[in-house]
Amino acid sequence: MVSRTNRRGSVTGARAGSPRRRLPMRLLLPLLVLVALVAMLMLRGYVHSEILADHRIQPEAATDQVPEKILDGGPVIDTRDGRTTSLRVPDHRLVLTFDDGPDPVWTPKVLDVLKKHHAHAVFFVTGTMTSQYPELVKRMVDEGHEVGLHTFNHPDLSYQSHRRIDWELSTNQLAITGAAGIRTSLFRPPYSSFANAMDDKSWPVTEYIGTRGYITVVDNIDSEDWKKPGVDEIVRRATPHGGKGAIVLMHDSGGDRHQTVRALDTFLPKLQRQGYTFDNLTEALGAPSASTEVTGPDLWKGKAWIFLVSASDGITGVLVVCLAVIGVLVISRFVLMLLLSGAHARRVRRKSFSWGPPVTEPVSVLVPAYNEAKCIENTVRSLMASEHPVEVLVIDDGSSDGTARIVEGMGLPNVRVVRQLNAGKPAALNRGMANARHDLIVMMDGDTVFEPSTVRELVQPFGDPRVGAVAGNAKVGNRDTLIGAWQHIEYVMGFNLDRRMYDLMRCMPTIPGAVGAFRRSALERVGGMSDDTLAEDTDITMALHRDGWRVVYAEKARAWTEAPESVQQLWSQRYRWSYGTMQAIWKHRHAVLERGPSGRFGRVGLPLVSLFMVLAPLLAPLIDVFLLYGVVFGPTQKTIVAWLGVLALQAVCAAYAFRLDRERMTHLISLPLQQILYRQLMYVVLLQSWITALTGGRLRWQKLRRSGGVAAPPTAPGEGTPVMGGSTAR
């Protein structure tokens, strides 16, 4: 899949002495993806009036500052270049105006009726709707209608600053330019009415609009079609008296407009028979067209805007689908874990349950070690306290801190040190297997301690000759820190519940490196430990499944491991795990097409592992993205309730997992904080792993710094807390 390097090799990067370090592509791409995603969501929220929307409506105010000739004048108000004039529509001419569109359902129907009766109209479109349905605005212009601005988000401009008014006009204009390639000088304020309704709050806005080069168009006949009074009533209210000209207000958006469409089909021929013509505003006034063609950079800016809005809607639509997918995956995984882990616990805890004849033969325990001076003595002494006969092989993989000398200085029986030049963990394990004397092989990490019963419990499943490998119960020893507590929850809930579930489904993906056991014959048949991936434990487990061996989980085989104590160490560890798992899935991908046990694992195990361990964590950030979006931009209450529901489901699973593992529930107090902070880190790690895989990047093994704080296991099974410090328990 990608090239690999020695796990303890030097960092590949900028040349020595280089004055600048470029941001690695695997970090740059996630950052760019995040920025682009946020930008698309913000754009989508703005276009759909979820951001910056202002639904306040100004109450009526005094009119003493409004010129009398405006209050008594016509519906067309021109305040450009310091003018204060108004115009009326000539007799027997009607200008139909439609507000709030375009609407994908009703605007085409309105246009069809206008075309049928050879009538023109003016459409005062909002930027939000124009951005979403640009093809309808283009159709309006192509069919000879005029378009005007109706702001972008439809706010009452009397509440807005000049800067906000400019923004509403410019973005509305930008959308029209992108849709139809024109610029218009017509404007209708939201919530406007007749000219005599102009007051001291709206008049300053009208004056300012004129300074920006726009003519304000109100109306002098309101059909009140938005009230849905019935077709006949709409026709009656829209009909002028005495052959006078008028600007008629109607709507082609904002709800069900079937009455408007039907009324229009009656109104047009009726008034045409009475000698009325239905013109654009400039046609009715005998004025030059209000529209001018846009070319050059301004046109491309408009087209770019329409493209970005379309992209944001498309991306958001995909994200919503992905959110539904992750919702199904998360709930399915939780349900499967609850049902199958419970069934697994009931099965193995029955008094009559047995793997087969008791396994009493000696075991070889392999401990690969690289610079484990702080931990290795505790590890070896815990093995010496084992209730099962063991030989211990510590494979020193080129340590520089005296790890091998510490073990040799202990002078313990049945403990051997095998030295090799630094070659990596898989090579160390293969070297240990070659030197092992027994047919059952237990593998553990150099920072792990076993309980006295661990080895015995770990090898009992080999009483079943079909079992080729056994996964033990890895537990976090240093759980007294916040990061340690979060990892403790993750180990108990995420890993051990998963192992119970995968055990019953016969597709367990990973034997943990901290505590696992193998038949030598099974390992030899699949070629031993491989360094093809950075997750040799997952790789070997999948290989055993494909070879027909059963891989099971031994819940009582507890091992206490030292989890990373810093964010940087945690990042390094999980980055390697995530990337290595992807490598292993890719390496064994051909199993999907094979027959027999390999095919079963390929068609059952690999999809489950891919869905639950790769795809689900990759998509899971959408839950938090939409949570944040919903909290900030609404609907806030529903969003919080939905998120709390997911958290409650996780809490139920966590509590059940802790009960199965006989852990104290007090650690779950930090679960909500874990979901908010710790989970975000895991998201970024997985995304970075994906980027590394897609870009063919290199990833070296990471040696985590250990403190040696996990000294010995608890003396009583189920006690649930390791002994910390330098003393040992026997």
Q: Is 158 within 8 Å of 201 (Cβ atoms)?
A: yes
Side-chain-side CA neighbours of residue 448 (13 Å)? 29
Give the span between the Cα atoms of 232 and 220, in whole angstroms: 19
Quick one: tokens of 446? Answer: 């150099």
The CA distance from 588 to 546, in Å, is 9
What are residue 78's phi and psi, to 5 degrees? Answer: -115, 110
User: SS3 of 508, please?
Assistant: coil
Contacts of 122 (CB under 8 A, 6+ apart): 95, 96, 97, 98, 145, 146, 147, 148, 186, 217, 280, 281
CA distance to 247, 267, 283, per residue, from 270 (Å): 17, 5, 21
Helices (H) and strands (E) in the chain, counts: 27, 22
Residue 461: which of 510, 505, 519 has the closest Cα?
519
CA-based nearest residue to 125, from 142, 100, 156: 100
CB atoms within 10 A of CB 68: 8
Amino acid identity of residue 368, one-letter, is P
The residue annotated as part of the active site, out of 48, 99, 279, 344, is 99
Pairing of strands 550-561, 291-293: unpaired
* Set 154, 251, 388, 545: catalytic member: 251
Residue 292's DSSP bridge partners are: 183
The sign of the torsion formed by the CA atoms of 691, 693, 698, 701 equals positive
And the tokens for 51?
A: 């951001």
Q: At what angle do helices 621-633 and 636-660 cross, to 10 degrees?
A: 150
Region class of 17: left (phi > 0), else alpha (psi between -120 and 50), else beta: left
From residue 152, give the alpha-carbon distance in Å to each of 186, 503, 658.
Answer: 14, 57, 53
Report the 10 Å Cβ neighbour count for 324. Answer: 12
DSSP code for 476: E
Residue whose tokens read 């309006």: 140
DSSP state of 159: G
Query: Would residue 55 show up in a list of annotated catalytic residues for this protein?
Result: no
Helix residue ranges, H only, 473-566:
482-489, 497-505, 520-525, 536-546
Nearest-5° Cα angle at 657, 653 to 663: 135
Residue 96's CB is within 10 A of a number of other CB atoms, namely: 28
DSSP 640-709: HHHHHHHHHHHHHHHHHHHHHTT--GGGGGGHHHIIIIIHHHHHHHHHHHHHHHHHT-------------
Enter the tokens of residue 383.
């093995």
Task: Confirm whether 154 is a catalytic residue.
Answer: no
Say whether 394 sits in a helix, a strand or coil: strand
> Cβ(40)–Cβ(458) under 8 Å?
no
Token pair 């008791």 is found at 358
- Residues catalogued as catalytic: 99, 251
